Amino acid sequence: MMESTGGPYLNTAAVTSPVGIVRLLQMMFGCTTFSLVAHQGGFSAAYGTFCMFVWTFCFAVTVFITTCEFTHLHSCLSISWGNFTAAFAMLATLMSVTAAVIYPLYFVQLGCYPITCEVRDFRIAASVFAGLVFIVYGVEVFLTRAKPGQVTSYMATVSGLLKIVQAFVACIIFGALVNDSQYSKYVATQWCVAVYSFCFMVTVVVVAFSVTGKTAQLCFPFERSVVVYTFGAVLLYVSAAVIWPVFCFDSKYGSPQRPSACAKGRCPWDSQLVVAIFTYINLLLYVVDLAYSQRIRFVSHI
């Protein structure tokens, strides 16, 4: 004699709902992209390796998420599933748009020399599908984001999504810093690096606690602490936004204009400019985050 269970073993909504269909498209476009590159398109150097990592990583995690939701296995995991999927969707959007820009920029050309026309066509096709990968991940972020008045996971809110963007922008800053930016030349620019590092680490900790669902177990009010930290991050980034340009582009300490003798791709001035631009971008992100973080409530168990 068989007894009826509390529900079906498989969750068909994981592949038939709008978000489920979008994830199926993510897997299809992602698999097509790295297959085209691996078959004939080709990749080389750090840029190509990064692009292949992005497409394979996003594909693998999307397969994992879809499988867990289809089989209900995510209920066995000791994490906040809603926070995890929202954080990954935002991260995948940022990573895929970066790869969608880098790959055609470095590997696609109009002519066939020195590669064959077949290789060129494969690279163009891969670039098109790379753009589609970015679009479908962006659609998932749009579909799963928090709506006004809706009780949802923190990482699905504007403030939560901004945390992922802030950490991603900080990684771009770190990449420029290690590319011969000469940040160790002055104590003031070392302070700026300390600001970037501190804010990045705390932001990662906030995301980690949200994804693991451990915020309710802390002995202090997590949501209030995040707001206080965000305010502190704004102040720290304001200091970096003032100090970095002064000690890099003022004629007393640095160079207002790009030195003519600077080699392309190996110029400290270029790295300093990238750091300055993304410092202001992250400052703006933290200001917007501060405005939104005062109006939300954390939900750690969704």
Q: What is the mean pLDDT of the chain?
A: 88
pTM over 0.95: no
Arithmetic mean of pLDDT, 158-164: 93
pLDDT tens-digit map of 101-157: 999 998 888 777 778 888 888 999 999 999 999 999 999 999 998 776 565 688 888
**More confident: 193 or 7:** 193
Query: Residues 235-275: pLDDT tens digits?
Result: 999 999 999 999 988 888 878 888 877 777 678 888 899 99
Mind giving me the DSSP string for the chain?
A: -----SS-SS-THHHHSHHHHHHHHHHHHHHHHHHHIIIII---HHHHHHHHHHHHHHHHHHHHHHHHHHHTGGGGSSS-HHHHHHHHHHHHHHHHHHHHHHHHHHH--SS-SSS-HHHHHHHHHHHHHHHHHHHHHHHHHHHHSPPTT----GGGSHHHHHHHHHHHHHHHHHHHHHTT--GGGSHHHHHHHHHHHHHHHHHHHHHHHHHHT-GGGSSS-HHHHHHHHHHHHHHHHHHHHHHHHHHHHSTTTS-SS--TTPPTT--HHHHHHHHHHHHHHHHHHHHHHHHHHTT-------
Q: What pLDDT does 2 receive?
A: 46
pLDDT of residue 280: 97
